[in-house]
Amino acid sequence: GAGVSQSPSNKVTEKGKDVELRCDPISGHTALYWYRQRLGQGLEFLIYFQGNSAPDKSGLPSDRFSAERTGESVSTLTIQRTQQEDSAVYLCASSLDATGEFYGYTFGSGTRLTVV
Amino acid sequence: AQKVTQAQTEISVVEKEDVTLDCVYETRDTTYYLFWYKQPPSGELVFLIRRNSFDEQNEISGRYSWNFQKSTSSFNFTITASQVVDSAVYFCALSEPYNTDKLIFGTGTRLQVFP
Taking CA atoms, what residue in B is nearest to A30?
B100
Instruction: Give residue B13's pLDDT.
Output: 97
Asked if residue B18 lies in contact with residue B77, where contact means CB atoms within 8 angstroms, the answer is no
Q: Where are the alpha helices (DSSP H) in chain A?
A: none
Q: Which residues in chain A touch residue B100, judged by CB atoms under 8 angstroms apart?
A: 48, 50, 55-56, 98
A107/B105 touch (CB, cutoff 8 Å), yes or no: no
Q: How far is A56 from chain B (nearest CA, A)?
A: 7
B104/A91 touch (CB, cutoff 8 Å), yes or no: no
In chain A, which residues touch B (CB < 8 A)?
31, 33, 35, 41-45, 48, 50, 55-56, 89, 91, 93, 95, 98-100, 102-110, 112
pLDDT, one tens digit per residue, over B62-112 is 999 999 999 999 999 999 999 999 999 999 999 876 666 788 999 999 999
Asked if residue B106 lies in contact with residue B6, where contact means CB atoms within 8 angstroms, the answer is yes
pLDDT, one tens digit per residue, over A8-39 is 999 999 999 999 999 999 998 888 999 999 98
Tell me how far apart the alpha carbons of residues B63 and B71 are, in angstroms, rounded to a whole number: 25
Instruction: Give residue A99's pLDDT.
Output: 57
